[in-house]
Every structure is written in C-alpha cells, then in structure tokens.
Structure 1
Amino acid sequence: MDFSLSPEVESTRARIREFVEQRIIPLEADPASYDEHENIAKPLLERLRAEAKAEGLWALNLPKERGGGGFPMVAIAAFYEEMNRSIFGPVVFHGAAPDDGNMRVLNMVGTEAQKERWLQPIIDGKVQSSFAMTEPDGCGSDPSMTYTKAERRGNDRWVITGRKHYITGAETSKHFILMARTSDDDRTGLTAFLFHADQPGWKIVRRIPIMGPEEHGGHCELEFDGLEVADENVLMGVGDGLRVTQIRLGPARLTHCMRWTGMGRRALEIAMAHIEQRSSFGSKLVEKEAVQQLVGQAAMELDIGRLLTMRAAWLLDQGSLARKEISMAKVVVADALHKAVDTSLQLLGARGYSKDTPVEWMYRYARQARLVDGASEVHRMVLANFLRRQGKDFFKWGADRG
C-alpha cells in the first residue's frame, strides 16, 4: 500500500489539525470546559460541533448524501489520529465511540427505512446511540454467551427480557442496538434489535462508576422486562446477530486504534515540550541518554501501532474483513498508548501526576484500551488460531478477503 495521502485527504487532515490546535486544545486547561464526569461540557460541545459542521469536518466516515464526508477508512485513520490529539476531539467531529461504530453498521446493513428512522438522527447529532451487548456473567468478548432472550409474541413482534451492563452512553442515548438470543443455535441464535429509549419494558439500573473519565451517558447496567420490538426493527434478519456484531466490532476496534495513536502522540508532545526546556544536573533533560531511551522507545512503539492500523484500514477498503490485522493493531496500539502516556507522566514528574496537564486524565483513560472491544489476551488467542489454520500463509502479502 501507498502511505502517502491524497491532496484532498491531506488538506482535510491539516484542517482538522488546525481546528484541534486553535479551537479545542486551549479549552482543556479551563475547569469550566468539563462536566461532572470529566468529559467536555455539553453546552461547549454543541458550540464546537456547530463550528465543525460549518467547516465541513462532520461525520467524515459517513456517506456524503447523508451529511457525512464520504471518506474511506485509510483517510479516517489519518483524521481520527488528528482529532484525538485533544481529549475532547473525537466527539466534537462526531468520530467518537459508540456512535461511530453504530452509524457505520446501520449504514452498511440497515434497510432504507431503518436508515431514515434510526441512522439519520444519529448522523445529524440529534440523538446519541448505544450498542447493548455485554452482560453480567454472560456475553463479553464471546457473543455466544448472550443470555438476554427475545421471544415471539404474535406474528410481528418480540418480547425481550434480560440484563446488560457497561453499556456506553446509555444514560443519554435515545437509539439502541440490542443483542438478544432468539434460538439456541451457536451460529444463528442471536438477533440484533433496534429500540428507542422512550419505549416501555426496560430501565437503567445504575450508572456504573469507573476508574477513568466517562463518555457522555456513562457506562450503565440495563434491565429488560417485557420490551417489545416489532419485526421492522430487526437489524439484518432473525438469527443474523452474530454477523451484525462481526460487521460492527471489527472496524470499531480499529477506529479505537486510530484515536489512541493521536492521544499517544499528544502525550509525547507534552513530554517533549517539558524535557526540552527542563534542566537538571547541568543539562536539559532531553540531552540525557536515559530520557532519550524512554521517549525513543515510546515513539517507536506508537509508530509501529500506526502502521498496523493503517494496514488494517487499507485492507478494509479492499473489502477484506481484516480480522487478523485488526487484532494485531488492537493489541499493539493499546500497549503503545499506555507506554506513551506512562512515559510522559514519568518525565513530567509530579506535574504529570497532577491535573496541571491532561496527562493524568489520559493515564486513567488509557488503561481501558487493553480491555474494551476484546481484551488483549482474546486478540492474541485469535492470532494464534489464525497461525494454526494458515501456517505459512499467516505472513503472506496482500489483501485476504476472509
């Protein structure tokens, strides 16, 4: 693949960078910019989103005819990296999880009627969305362990009972994609349902406190006790739930990696600015070999992650599922992000541990990277299984459509 960016992509990337530098990063130092959960305050977010829309930098991964940018995944990789040089960046441009992944899967597999009802309001920024899959004592990295049930009622609807937890954004979301079991078949036993927050038959049990800063709407535990969903709001078809998760989660994992490389870069930028001006024992910190070892290693690991991310993005653009390559990127970038932020905090010393910079925010956020959308151990297992099946072909060049 060619790693150069087209003139249009490069121009857009540069405009995102300028917007982040001029309009977003300066806001991080103002306590009034944050809500009570350490995310960007909603009134400020809405103002910035209006500016991003006016600049033509909105929902860049969605089709132009629906108000997006219409860019391929390779371009999105470059854009999302620039966006997340600010801790507030992705949500401003409508490139944050879980809306990002939900919009993508709805656009790919939804009917035209479903796109109009469920997708377009998300693209327009009128509603927030959630993907409800993970369960207490059930589904996590393994969707086959879904215990939430959907049972037929009459000829045209389903009744859902069960429980979900760690559902990102649920407290403020209006549109939900819900995974439930419709049969005991290992491959075709799951179905994806669409429902609105105002429908009866479900409730938020609690907003689960977490270690790091929270997305808008938090991470919630949900209970379903008679939620009714009509056949018209089944995504794809009955029994296609596992396919829906595969279509959604692969690219969503990769967009995490795109954003994480940006955060890692910013952490190193903050560290470099500090060590280039800070003197100790007769010289600048940047001149000390031990410090150079730290930043050199962190930068190298981050760039390896960027290359893996871009390769997987290119493969997706070629029509491949890129399962193996996405798993590689997910493991490597999660580690590289933590390495970059940890290195930055170490070099900043007490200032890094304080709230005088966003590095301590990043440090708490970065720890989730090795857990979300499949723990690193699960992805290593995926890679081992690919190696067993493919043998020498594990290392072949080119796009694998499987």
Structure 2
Amino acid sequence: MSDLTEQWCERVRAAAAAGTALQIRGGGTKDFYGRIPVGELFDTLGHTGVVNYEPTELVVTVRAGTPLAELEALLATNGQMLAFEPPHFGAGATVGGCVAAGLAGPRRLAAGGVRDFVLGVKIIDGRGEALSFGGQVMKNVAGYDVSRAIAGSLGTLGLITEVSLKVLPRPVAEVTLRFEIEEQDALNRLNDWGGQPLPISGSTWRDGVLHLRLSGAEAAVRAAKQRLGGEVLDDVAGAAFWQAIREQQDGFFAPEAGEVLWRLSLPSSAAPVKLSGQQLIEWGGALRWLRSSLPADAIRERAAALGGHATAFRGFDRAGDVFHPLSAPLRAIHCRLKQAFDPAGIFNPGRFYNGI
C-alpha cells in the first residue's frame, strides 16, 4: 500500500497558485468519456491499497489508484461483489476512475447506481486541502451528501484519494432467459415485470430479442423462470452475454464511420425512440443506446420530448457538447459547485461543459 495524499496536496496547491490545469487520470480506460481532457497529466496509479475491509459489515475502504479488478477479486474471495457492476473498459481501470465516471452495468436495473453505494469519500479540493465526507456506515446523513456529488463528477470537483463502498453478497443462483419479442411489447412486459416481486437483475433488448437475467435465491430464481418462460441459456453463454454488455464488447457498441453511439436516459415507460439507426435497450427501458448518424439536435430534442436526456458516448466531436445542454438554473448550480470545490478551476476543466 502507498499513501501519497500529502504529496498530492502540495502538487495541487502549486498548480492552483500557478493556475495550471490538471488532467486527473487513473488507468485511462474512460478517457473517451466526456469532452476532451486537457491539462498537465496527474497520474493517480501510485496511490493504492485496501485501507479497511469488513466482510461481515459489507463495507470496503480503498485508495483511488487501486485496480478495480484487484478489488473485485478480493470481494469474490468472500462471496461478495460491487452490485452496480461497474464497467472496466480495459485492464487498467481503477476504483477512483470507477467512482469518478459514475457508470454502472446491467445490474443497475435492480441494485442501483454508483452513488447509491458510495458511503464516504476523501478528496483533495482545488485549494490543496484534504477533506473527508461521509463515512463507513449507512446511517451517515449529517449535512450535504458530498459523496454522491463526487460520484460521476469526472474529477471536476476534486481529486479522489479514498472511497468507502457498500458491497453485497453474490447471488446464489443466476439464469438468463431469451425471448423473441418486438420493442413495444418488450417495454410493456419489462415495466409490468418491474412492478412485481421478480428477481430480475438485468435486461437487454435488441433486434427483436429480449434477454432477461434472474439472480437471487435458488427457489426464487426457479419460480420466476417457470413463471416467465422463455428459452434458457446455459450458464457459460449467459455469463458471456452479460459480460459483453457490461464491458461493451458486443459489436453494437462500436459505431461505424459517420455514426455516434448515444446514451439516452429516459423514463422506463417512455415510448419507443423511433429514430433512424440501431438501438439496444437496457435497465427495463430506462437506458436506450442508439447508434445513429442523425444530427445531435434531433436526437436531443427527441430525448427531451420523451422526458429524458441524451449523451454522446462514442464517436462524437468531443470539442462540442457531449452531455445534454444545461438549462440556465442547472448551469448556475454546476458553476457554484465548481467554484466551491475548485475555485481556481484547475481540475479537469471543461470535461463536462465548456467553461466549467
């Protein structure tokens, strides 16, 4: 283990005094996400180690540069997991990068997102001060929940040094079902099933085929499988399918020339997107992936009309608006948060929005 907190504080103080932008980077596996990274490279890989792990308490505290695969391997030895299934997108993924990106995999449907599992964080703010928020227990609600604001902030608010995460037991049983069904019928069924006590832990629809994952106690999974029907995939094929979705190894996620891969966050009950291009639907209808060559304005207008927003995920001109444009009030909130945590504006400037 190595603790570089004090060294990092000194470097951040020097950067703030000089007005030097810092590009915070762990394993670099999510460099593609967001607007173009700028600034002097700040490598977090040397700050590693598990600080505390209490399997019986379902809590682990780990330094930001720790490899994500290393943490997941440790949890697996105790039959536990990060329930939000964070994608790695490469062997170098770190815990800090996982939290900063705020991306979750198929199990987000049932378990929740990254910020739902962050109990506490330690960061270095833009003044070079080491700060601690939250803790290592669930009942820690005093004051503003900064830990949740840090999750998904892409390093724009502070340099993450340490994270405390809630973990969960791995499911005893798991099975994948396959159904041939059209989009609207799939959305209807997913929303209907979502309101029932079914152990659904993942759903993916594409090209007239719905895959559904059931996870939990053997009796619950067996009963749900008998009730829902469908074709049962063998364990190896099922695990490979969900791994390909989680890590975006499926060919769908590689846009061709002229295409952009869009991530549309919508109400699960929203109508079909009905835009030209290829589509893959996750999270019971709440996450719609779209590969399309349509103009950004057309896609964002349709997403907004359906009650959601659209993010350009891959294949986009990253000098432009990658994330859905903010309303004036929301932009003001973003600016105030940035000013409070990073007054000199040195951390990953412009990674979310130009000028922030």
Does TM, normalized by the shorter one, top 0.5? no
Greater helix proportion: 1
Structure number with the bigger relative contact order (C-alpha 8 A, sep ≥ 6) is 2
TM-score (norm 2): 0.26
- Of Structure 1 and Structure 2, which has the larger fraction of its residues in strand? 2
